[in-house]
Amino acid sequence: MAIASLSSLNLTDKSSPLCFRFHISSRSKPVLFTSSNYPKLNRNHRIQISVCKAEATTTTSSSLLSFRDLDADDFRHPLDKQNTLLLKAIPGLNEIGKALLGSISEQVMVLENIGTSVLVSENQLSELHHLMVQSAEALKIEAPDLYVRQSPVPNAYTLAINGKKPFIVVHTSLIELLTRKELQAVLAHELGHLKCDHGVWLTLANILTVGAYTIPGIGGMIAQNLEEQLFRWLRAAELTCDRAALLVVQDPKVVMSVLMKLAGGCPSLADQLNVDAFLEQARSYEKAAASPVGWYIRNAQTRQLSHPLPVLRAREIDEWSRSQDYKTLMKRAISTNPIEKV
């Protein structure tokens, strides 16, 4: 909130609504007034006008874009396509995974979230519910259940089990860290996993990786090989879902801002972070990793990671936002012009 005089206000800016609060005081005592009881002012009174951003409404004034007949392969990253084929080629992966994921495992995971989190709905955290429904409509996918869980670790994840209704979990610390637009990018990212059937593959592959270690003799070798394939696929899948986030929020800087905050953000520093500087940091990383030694270090650094490095994800989404494929896809978008609630 800032104190301003009338001459310093820019009333032509329509990017966000403004609200004005008046406080009138005199040298002797403050003067309080309502719309039905205005005071008579004299030169002894001083007027302060505080200007603040109006509270965000449950919908945005910008038009919502959705994509008719949107297919996952329309935005799937090439590395995701390649590594998904490699996973599908593993003999018996689906069958063994489904056998491991029985009704008991499913019940445990569902009850765990119902018992320890808050289920979002129209009458429970309605703003988050609206962001989820809006994002799902944009990507042409059924909105899953959404839970908010108390945790100091900023994170969000998706679970899809045995063809049942999937659900997304968002930690409270992540909500505190992000703006509402950035939070919508996170929800759209998680929806991207469901749009591309990543949730099922993620659950099955994780269980198989853990289970393979129990096989005598060759278990470790099988698990290590499968783990490397799993992480390689996961890193590629994350790049796809960053694209899903961009399709919903329509601004690459919003997606990159999420990645920047996950790399080194906190609520007290959020307003000082600079997306352009972070993108320049990403370019410098690529230059440093271009040498033979840098290439080796980069591969060693990322091989055991389930997610690509934030700077690499930022660079990827920046490049895709400038590509002809993205521009062609955006031409297929349909504006629905939602009615803004007041």
| DSSP assignments along 122-185, one per residue | TTBSHHHHHHHHHHHHHTT----EEEEE--SS--EEEE--TTSPPEEEEEHHHHHHS-HHHHHH
Backbone angles phi, psi at 256, to 5 degrees: -65, -30
The catalytic residue among 190, 227, 238, 316 is: 190
Q: How far apart are CA 222 and CA 206, in angstroms?
A: 13
Task: Tally helices (H) and strands (E) across the chain.
Answer: 13, 10
Is residue 155 within 8 Å of residue 186, measured between CB atoms? no
Write down the residue that tokens 């905050």 correspond to. Answer: 261
Q: How far apart are CA 99 and CA 102, in angstroms?
A: 6
Write down the residue that tokens 């070798």 correspond to. Answer: 221
Strand, helix or coil for residue 238: helix
**190 is known as an active-site residue:** yes
- Active-site positions read 190
